[in-house]
Amino acid sequence: MAKLKAPLNQDDHIQGDKNAPIELVEYGDYQCTYCGDAHPTIKAIQSKMGKDLKFIFRNFPLTQTHSNAQNAALAAESSAAQGKFWEMHDILFENQDNLKEEDLYKYAEEIGLDVEKFKNDLKNKTYRDKVQTDFEGGIRSGVNSTPSFYINGEKHEVLDEKELLNYIKSVQY
């Protein structure tokens, strides 16, 4: 089984208790339909696990097949700089069919970002290095499709909520 080679760092986006015994890392692409299908599953698992789970999302835009994935990842990172990563993360997955630049600007406004700063960040690809660092960490860790999940450092392929939840609960902690 593949292992997570890129340890958590201060640039990671973490939801939940940072000291939780279960760590779920997702490498995802905002335009990937499988990632979109997994999004509500992750939300349900977070709800069921509560303080026992910390969730980390890392960008893995598949630019060869998803023309808007890179800009969506940059939008999420620009939103993070304004303290709204998770709000943008959710709106991107909830609107996967609408990820053109003008859509991203609309979402930035909806979640209360400084839209001019956001537009400037996208135009200048300000957070390109962060997205690339996530992507390279995924490559080193054996990511070859999205979504890819790592539970306490071990890669896990299942998208089914029940199976994933059972696996998480079976991890010794």
pTM of the model: 0.94
Q: Give residue limits of the domains in the chain.
A: 13-165
Average confidence (pLDDT) per 10 residues, the chain, 173 residues: 92 96 96 95 92 96 97 98 98 98 98 98 97 98 94 82 77 57
For residue 95, give the 3-state DSSP assignment: coil
Q: Would strands 154-156 and 148-151 be described as parallel, antiparallel, or unpaired? A: antiparallel
Q: What is the pLDDT of residue 124?
A: 97
d(CA 136, CA 134): 6
- Which CATH code, of 3.40.30.10, 3.30.2020.30, 3.40.800.20, 3.20.20.210, is assigned to 13-165? 3.40.30.10
User: In the chain, which ranges are continuous DSSP H helix?
Assistant: 33-49, 69-81, 85-94, 101-110, 115-124, 128-140, 161-170
Calculate the alpha carbon distances from 158 to 20, 28, 53, 54 in Å.
Answer: 21, 14, 17, 18
> Do the Cβ atoms of 111 and 127 come closer than 8 Å?
no
